[in-house]
C-alpha cells in the first residue's frame, strides 16, 4: 500500500491461469483453433478439442493432452451431445471458444440463396446453439465465459464477401445481447475480430506474396498469425478480463485504424506544412470516463 492507496494488489499472473477449468474449443483442428486450444491448455485448463473432422480433432487433442470430440456444431442434436459429453469428460463446462467461420467469395449481386443461407449458418448457427445450450449448462453451475471469433469484415466494407461481413456484424450484435442477458448469471460473452490471419487455409490461397502485400498495408508491418488471436482469446477467457463483457476486441495490427486518405501526399500537393507539435503537458487521470 501507499500513503493514499490501501487497495490490495492482486496476483495478475495467477489471474491468467485457468487451472481446473473445463473449456471447449469448437473448430480446434487447425490454425486459430489449434493455437487457442494450446493456449488454454498451457494455462491449466482441461480442454475438449472439437472439430467436424475426426482426424484433426484427435491430432490436436493428442498434441496438447486434451479430449477430442467429433461432430457438427451447426446441428442442435450434435451440440446437445457435445454438452452432455463435455460435462461428463470435463466435470463441468466453464466456457468455450467458438472458432468456426468461413467466407464464400462472390460479387454481392451474384450471391444465390443457397450460398446466403450457408454463409449465415457457418458464421451464426453454431454461435446461436452454443450460446443457448452451453449457456444453460453454465447458468446451472454458476457462470462461465463465451468467446467468439468475429472478423474485421463485420466492422468495415467486405467486398467479395458481403454476406460474410453481414453475418459477422450480426455475430457481434448477438454477443452484445447475450452478454446483457447472461451477465446476471455470471456469464461473460466477448468476441475477437481478427484482420487477415496467415492460417493454413489463407496461406494456401495467397502464399508469401500475399503475406508481404498485407504486411505492407498494416501499421505494425506484419500479417497476423493464429497465435495473435489465441492470445486474445486466452485473455478474454481468463480472470484478467473479469470486468469485460459484450465487447469485440479488434486484433488486426491496426489496419482498420488506418486513415484511408493519403494526407502526406495531399499536404505536399497543397503546399501546407505540418504545424509544430504542441508542448508536452504532464497530467494524471483518476477513474476518468
Tell me which residue of 98, 77, 122 sits closest to 26, measured CA to CA: 98
First-last CA distance in the chain: 25
CA-to-CA distance for 237 and 95, rounded, in angstroms? 8
| Residue 261 appears among annotated catalytic residues | no
Q: Cite the DSSP H helix spans in the chain.
A: 12-15, 31-42, 54-64, 76-90, 113-120, 126-141, 162-182, 200-217, 226-237, 263-270
In the set 12, 105, 164, 261, the catalytic residue is: 164
Helix (H) or strand (E) holding 23: strand 22-26
Contact call for residues 152 and 256 (beta carbons, < 8 A)? yes
SS3 content of the chain, % helix, strand, coil (to 5): 50, 15, 35
Tell me the three state secondary structure of residue 196. Answer: coil
Residue located via cell numbers 488454454: 40
Residues 6 or more apart from 193 whose CB is under 8 A from it? 149, 150, 151, 152, 154, 155, 168, 172, 248, 249, 250, 251, 252
Please state the separation of Cα 151 from the chain's center in Å.
Answer: 8
Q: Which residues participate in catalysis according to the annotation?
A: 164
Amino acid at each position: 500500500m501507499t500513503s493514499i492507496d490501501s487497495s490490495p494488489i492482486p496476483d495478475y499472473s495467477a489471474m491468467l491461469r485457468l487451472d481446473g477449468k473445463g473449456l471447449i474449443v469448437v473448430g480446434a483442428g487447425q490454425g486459430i483453433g489449434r493455437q487457442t486450444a494450446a493456449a488454454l491448455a498451457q494455462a491449466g485448463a482441461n480442454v475438449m478439442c472439437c472439430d467436424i473432422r475426426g482426424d484433426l480433432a484427435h491430432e490436436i487433442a493428442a498434441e496438447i493432452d486434451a479430449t477430442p470430440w467429433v461432430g457438427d456444431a451447426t446441428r442442435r442434436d450434435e451440440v446437445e451431445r457435445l454438452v452432455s459429453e463435455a460435462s461428463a469428460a470435463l466435470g463441468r463446462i466453464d466456457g468455450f471458444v467458438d472458432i468456426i467461420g468461413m467466407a464464400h467469395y462472390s460479387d454481392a449481386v451474384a450471391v444465390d440463396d443457397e450460398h446466403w443461407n450457408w454463409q449465415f449458418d457457418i458464421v451464426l448457427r453454431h454461435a446461436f446453439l452454443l450460446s443457448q445450450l452451453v449457456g444453460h449448462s453454465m447458468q446451472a453451475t454458476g457462470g462461465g465465459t463465451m468467446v467468439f471469433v468475429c472478423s474485421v469484415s463485420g466492422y468495415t466494407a467486405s467486398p467479395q464477401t458481403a454476406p460474410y461481413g453481414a453475418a459477422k456484424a450480426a455475430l457481434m450484435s448477438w454477443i452484445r445481447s447475450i452478454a446483457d442477458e447472461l451477465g446476471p448469471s455470471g456469464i461473460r460473452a466477448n468476441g475477437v475480430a481478427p484482420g487477415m490471419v496467415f492460417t493454413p487455409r489463407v496461406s494456401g490461397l495467397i502464399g508469401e506474396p500475399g503475406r508481404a502485400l498485407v504486411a505492407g498495408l498494416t501499421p505494425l508491418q506484419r500479417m497476423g498469425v493464429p497465435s495473435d488471436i489465441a492470445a486474445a482469446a486466452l485473455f478474454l477467457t481468463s480472470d484478467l478480463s473479469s470486468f469485460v463483457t459484450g465487447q469485440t476486441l479488434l486484433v488486426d495490427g491496426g489496419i482498420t485504424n488506418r486513415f484511408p486518405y493519403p494526407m502526406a501526399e495531399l499536404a505536399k500537393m497543397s503546399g501546407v506544412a505540418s504545424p509544430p507539435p504542441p508542448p508536452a503537458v504532464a497530467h494524471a487521470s483518476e477513474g476518468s470516463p
